[in-house]
Structure formats: structure tokens, C-alpha cells
Amino acid sequence: MQSQETNTRTTGALKHPDAAEWMAFLYAEVGPERRRELEDHLGHCADCSAQMDTWRASSKGLDEWRLPVMRRTSSPARLASRPWWPALKLAAAALVLGLGFALGRQTSPNAAEWAALKTSVAQLTGAMQQERGAALSNNVNIATAAANAETLRLLAEYSQLQESQRASDQQNLGVALRSFETRLGRLRAELETVALNTENGFEQTHENFSRLASFSAPLKNDN
Amino acid sequence: MARLITSLFAASDEQTMWRVKMYDDSQAFARLVARWEKPIQRLCARMTGDPHRAEDLTQTAFARVFARRANWEPSGRFSTFLWRIALNLCYDDLRQTQRRGECSLDGLEEESSAGGEHFVADEPSPHAQADARERGELVREALLRLPPLYREVVVLRHYEALKFHEIAEVLEIPEGTAKSRMAEALTQLHRLLKHVNEEITCNHKKRTLEPLAL
């Protein structure tokens, strides 16, 4: 592979522009002033001029390849949607597999055996279902009886508990009544004591008043 | 004048792509496809040498643009984003073709004979048309023999008229490198065209095919 000079060459007093600059010149990407300088250089430099002719010829040759008119690829909506080809591939694979399987089954020499096998499988399935039904009802009966027994036991326990609760309540009530009666008797005795004391007090007062009256009578007689 | 006014008020590619990115706007995406479908088809056709494959690649490129809309940075140019995606697809396709052991020059004869009615021409005589087609095929063959590294610069600069600084942006290389690659590509093309021209002349000695002016 021939490599191009990428730096500016100098031959004698002449400074050669590099390949990159010539490309910018060839594709009209240099300013007007630089373009004039490069054109002047080409007029004076046989090397650069020959090189430039080669590049121009290649560039012109490229225009010979014209593309056919191409059609629109697809609707943008389809492009924006999810890629469909993996799904299509899977679907095609599944279809081929299914067709192959069906074809294989149909063309198999053991078709009668297949049918017999299918019947026996169906019978076996029916028997198993019946058995399962019977086992299921038996289990339900056992479970119901156990639940009933448990309920009865719980009810008996509850009534016993209620009874004992009631007896203890009655006991407590009797004790409380007795204590109340005792306290009532004591209160009555105390009240009687108070009444007696009060009566004594009244009698004492009365006696005192009488004595006081007897003391005051002689004093009146003296005056 | 009307076109100028319309273009002044038309949304830029970047504004349109922004709508696609933010709102999944299918109408905006349709506008982008309408604007860029042809250039991308041409790029893919020149890179792979196969216009039919180019149609598929273009479709894939736009599907990928939509799928990667979230990755698009509004600070960059939409065209740069799109050229990069399309070029990467072309490279993938070229690698696959190489792996399958297919020669990218296959179908040369078929295309040159079957696709005649599609060629853009100014109604020249059938003989002149045949000559033009053959010269076009010479160039196509020579271009496909160029390493893709050089071919992409030729396609973007010569056929798609991107400036060298734009090519540098798309390929993420210095502008000077893009120009140097172009010079190298033209030098190699000159040699390849001469070589292919000689091959064809040897194979069709009896035909009076006008050689390329090299």
C-alpha cells in the first residue's frame, strides 16, 4: 500500500503543499486566496501537477458508478415498531415443527397401537377420577364427625365452667350478706348505746336545772 | 422562494429527533425517514456494492435509530448519529459476507444485465448505455476492492458531499486524517481502476469498450 506524504514537502526553494491540503483543494474546501496560491503552485510544479492529475482522474472516474433508482424501504410506522423478524423466525420454526410432528403421527405404522394406547389412558384416567371421588367423600365424613365431637366436648366444658362460676358467685353473695347482717347488728347496738347515753344526759341536765332552781329560791327570799 | 420560506420555518433534524426521543412521535420519525432514507440507501449501496442489501440495511438502520432514540444526545447532530449507525451496520454486513466466504463482487454480471432499466441516464443509445454500465461496474469493482477504511471516506466525501470536518466528526478521527485517507483512497483507486480496466480489456478483447480516462 502506497502511503501519501502528509507533511509539506520542500524541493529546493519550492514548498509543496501536503496531500491533505490538496484534497481540500480538489473538493473546494479552501478559501479563495489559498486556492489562487495552490493554482499558481500547480502551474509551476510538475510533481504536484502530475499527482493532482492522478487524483482528479480517480475522482472523475468515481462519477461513472451510478446507482439504480431505489424504492422506499418501508413505512416509518413499521420501522418504529418492534423488530418483527425474530418473531417471524420463531413462528416459522414452530410451524415447521408442528407440521413435522403431525405428519409423523399420521404416517406412523403404529397408528392402531396409538389409538389403543389413547383408549387405555382414557379408561385409566376415568378410574382414577372415580377413586379420587370416593376417597374424597370418605374424608369429608370423617372430618365432619370429628368436628361434631369436638363441638360437643367444647359445649360440655363451657356449661361446666358456667356452673362452677354460678356456685362461686352464690357463695360470695352469702358471705357478703352475712357480713352485712353482722355490721347491721353492731350498728344497732351502737345506736342503742347512744340513745341510752343521750337519755342519761337529758336526765342529768334535768336534775341540774332542778338543782339550779332550788339554789336560786333562797336568794329571792333574802331580798 | 416558497421553498426557502418553508425551509426557514421547518423543524431541524435535531428538533424533530428531540420529539422522537421525548414523545415517541411517530410522525416526526416519519419526517426523518423521508428526509434521510435516500442518502442512507446510497451510503449502504456504495459500501456494500449491493443496492438490494442496501435497502434492508437502511430499514435496519432506521429501526435502530428508533430503538436507540434514548441514546441520542441533543447536543450532537442527528446526521452524525445516523451516519454512524448506518456505517456500523455496513461494517457488520461486510464482516458477515466475508465470514460466509461470499465475494462482494458476486452478482456483478446479474446486476449489470438485470438492473439496466433502473439506471439514471440521459437516454443515450443502447450501445452507449452498455458502455456506461460497464464503466460503472469497473468503478464499483475497484471501489469494493478498497479497504473499507478508505472506502467510507470516499463515499461520504465524493458521493454524499460531506465536508471533511463532518467526516472527521462521523468517524471520530482528526480532519487531517480524513483528508489523508481520501488522498490515499484516490491514489489506490487510480491503480485499481487501471488494473481492472486491463483485466476487462483482456477478457473482452473483441469488444470496443471505451477505457476510463485515467
Sequential pLDDT tens for chain B (214 residues)? 566 565 656 789 999 999 999 999 999 999 999 999 999 999 999 999 999 999 999 999 999 999 999 999 989 999 999 999 999 999 999 999 888 776 544 433 333 333 333 334 455 677 777 777 788 888 999 999 999 999 999 999 999 999 999 999 999 999 999 999 999 999 999 999 887 767 666 666 545 455 555 5
Angle (nearest 5°) at CA A165 between A164 and A170: 95
DSSP code of residue A10: E
Task: Confirm whether A21 is domain-assigned.
Answer: yes
Cβ–Cβ < 8 Å for B62, B41: no
Per the CB < 8 Å rule, is B115 touching A70?
Answer: no
Domain ranges of chain B: 10-104, 123-214
Flag whether A143 is in a domain: no
**pLDDT tens series, chain A, 223 aa:** 344 444 455 554 458 999 999 999 999 999 999 999 999 999 999 999 999 999 999 999 999 998 888 776 666 666 666 454 555 555 666 666 666 656 655 555 566 666 777 777 788 777 777 777 777 777 777 777 878 888 778 888 878 888 888 888 889 888 989 998 999 999 999 999 888 888 888 889 889 888 888 876 555 454 4
Within-domain flag for A20: yes
Q: Which of A70, A71, A84 best tests the B interface by mutation, with the highest count of B CBs <10 A?
A: A70
- Angle (nearest 5°) at CA B160 between B154 and B161: 85
H helices of B68-107, in order, are 78-99
Residue A114 lies in a domain: no
CB nearest to A77's CB, from B26, B115, B121: B26
Q: Could you tell me if A50 lies within 8 Å of chain B, comparing CB atoms?
A: no
Rg over CA atoms, chain B: 19
Q: How far is B186 from chain A (nearest CA, A)?
A: 6
Q: Is residue A195 part of a domain?
A: no
Q: Which residue has the cell 457488520?
A: B92
Residue B30 CB neighbours (<10 A): 17
Long-range contacts of A84-93 (CB under 8 A, 24+ apart): none
% of residues, chain A, pLDDT over 70: 71
For the entire predicted model, the pTM comes to: 0.58
The ipTM is: 0.78
CB B46 within 8 A of CB B143: yes
A154 touches chain B (CB under 8 A): no
Task: Write down the architecture of domain B123-214 according to CATH.
Answer: Orthogonal Bundle (1.10)
* A149 occurs within a structural domain: no
Rounded CA-CA distance B196/B139 in Å is: 9
Residue found under cell 504536484: A48
Q: Does domain B10-104 have CATH number 3.90.1640.30?
A: no
A156 exposed, middle or buried (CB, 10 Å; 0-12, 13-18, 19+)? exposed
B137 interaction partners in chain A (CB closer than 8 Å): 65
Interface size A-B, in CB pairs within 8 Å, comes to 138
Contact between B184 and A2 using a beta-carbon 8 Å cutoff:
yes
